[in-house]
Structure 1
């Protein structure tokens, strides 16, 4: 999801990403808020994503962003604005593409054409025409704002810890040269 589609008007943009790095099952997640990014986490998936369809979901509310794969939470990014951490607050739209990025590795062009397939694509969101998310988007009328979505359930916490222990291969929080005050609370 991006607040600056097609790289337009990127000033202070927000972005919440699932990024597949090649075809070897490496999935990267990232959160940008007010153009402050580099909060990547990479996972080696427990399946081959090129062999079958899987479910990828993002829950984003005023309390947390949760990335799910096949209903299993793999990443949590809490709203830590009280600690001075930027949190996505701009309206966003879905952008799905295949693109080459030097940081993601080499492209074997002999494997072209590169094709992505999506099925049962669904979006639930708060409609807004404003430049920022309005208070109405925090209403309990929306499922994702209900109390049970303010944090992971005990079962989800257990799944989260298991997946991260077995499949997390990179976490920006491990970079001790940078201060990331949100890291201790994103568990």
Structure 2
């Protein structure tokens, strides 16, 4: 039977969506992560398909991946603390150990009811960060689950929300900009109290009468080069290892940044009175 161009296009899109859904459902919290702190405030539910973190006046909670990775793609669907979440921070990030660590961050800074969450992103290399970009999201991240992804390969780091790129940090070692490439990292997530800085610079404090606060994670997937015994093993032919933004991806990122970015270290003249850092000039 012959297919029209439109039918072939629809079939291709459905195939890609099915493949993505299959890959996104591979992870399992019972198998792939361990709850590392919180004294019972972190709970794995629904046969390993859901993980809930909670925070009260005594403690927050968190988990980490069992594997370390040197490059990879990590993602999860997250539903953030609803209502008055001022002073709370929900995280999803990659980090290496030690005093000169590497780190790639998603941090969600809570706010008063009716005000937007702030999505904070940052990149650390050898213990040095100060590369923050912050966004307000174009949806309510507490009403339902949304997908947050970090792609880390030798050429770039890409942050995406529901498949839309919001930030790209390129490997520009050729002009002297450090890039995380030598230290394996684990995936971490946590819910904790940071009311000294999280909401309006610490002006709005946490309301403990609303505790316990809860954030939920599902459809976790970490697909990367697993680090073991001093070496990494990469899955064959994974598209994330050479992924870059195409024309459409760059336009979508510009759309997000032009409408929803609320802080960019590249344009912070108080921090960089001599001008923007070199990687910003190359953007």
TM-score, structure 2 normalization? 0.58
Quote how far apart the aligned CAs of 1:140 are.
Answer: 6.4
**Contact (CA 8 Å) 1:26, 1:42: kept in 2 or not?**
yes
Partner of 2:100: 12
Partner of 1:168: 261
Aligned with 2:221 (options 111, 116, 122): 122
The answer to whether 1:112 aligns with 2:211 is yes
What is the rounded CA distance, in whole Å, between the counterparts of 1:80 and 1:108 in structure 2? 43
Structure 1 stretches of at least 4 aligned residues deviating more than 3 Å after TM superposition: none
What is the rounded CA distance, in whole Å, between the counterparts of 1:109 and 1:181 in structure 2? 43
Structure 1 segments unaligned to the other structure (5+ residues): none
**Contact (CA 8 Å) 1:55, 1:70: kept in 2 or not?**
yes
Q: How does 1:1-187 map to 2 (within 5 A)?
A: 1-4=94-97, 9=98, 11-23=99-111, 24-89=116-181, 90-101=183-194, 102-105=196-199, 106-129=205-228, 137=234, 141-146=237-242, 149=243, 151-176=244-269, 177-178=271-272, 179-186=276-283
What is the rounded CA distance, in whole Å, between the counterparts of 2:193 and 2:128 in structure 1? 22
Higher Cα radius of gyration: 2
**Contact (CA 8 Å) 1:36, 1:86: kept in 2 or not?**
no
Quote how far apart the aligned CAs of 1:175 are.
Answer: 1.8
Q: Which has the higher strand share?
A: 2
**Contact (CA 8 Å) 1:32, 1:88: kept in 2 or not?**
yes
Stretch of structure 1 that moved more, 173-182 or 71-80: 173-182
Tell me the alpha carbon deviations over residues 72-104 of structure 1, each in whole angstroms, 9 at most, x when there is no partner. 000010011112111112111111001223221
What is the rounded CA distance, in whole Å, between the counterparts of 1:17 and 1:111 in structure 2? 27
Between Structure 1 and Structure 2, how many residues are aligned?
175
Tell me the alpha carbon deviations over residues 44-96 of structure 1, each in whole angstroms, 9 at most, x when there is no partner. 10111011000100111011101000100000100111121111121111110
What is the rounded CA distance, in whole Å, between the counterparts of 1:88 and 1:113 in structure 2? 36
What is the rounded CA distance, in whole Å, between the counterparts of 2:229 and 2:123 in structure 1? 21
Superposition CA RMSD, Å: 1.8
What is the rounded CA distance, in whole Å, between the counterparts of 1:130 and 1:31 in structure 2? 26
Aligned residue for 2:262, secondary structure, equals strand
What is the rounded CA distance, in whole Å, between the counterparts of 1:180 and 1:109 in structure 2? 40
Tell me the alpha carbon deviations over residues 90-135 of structure 1, each in whole angstroms, 9 at most, x when there is no partner. 111111001223221332222211111011111101011256x75x
Structure 2 segments unaligned to the other structure (5+ residues): 1-93, 200-204
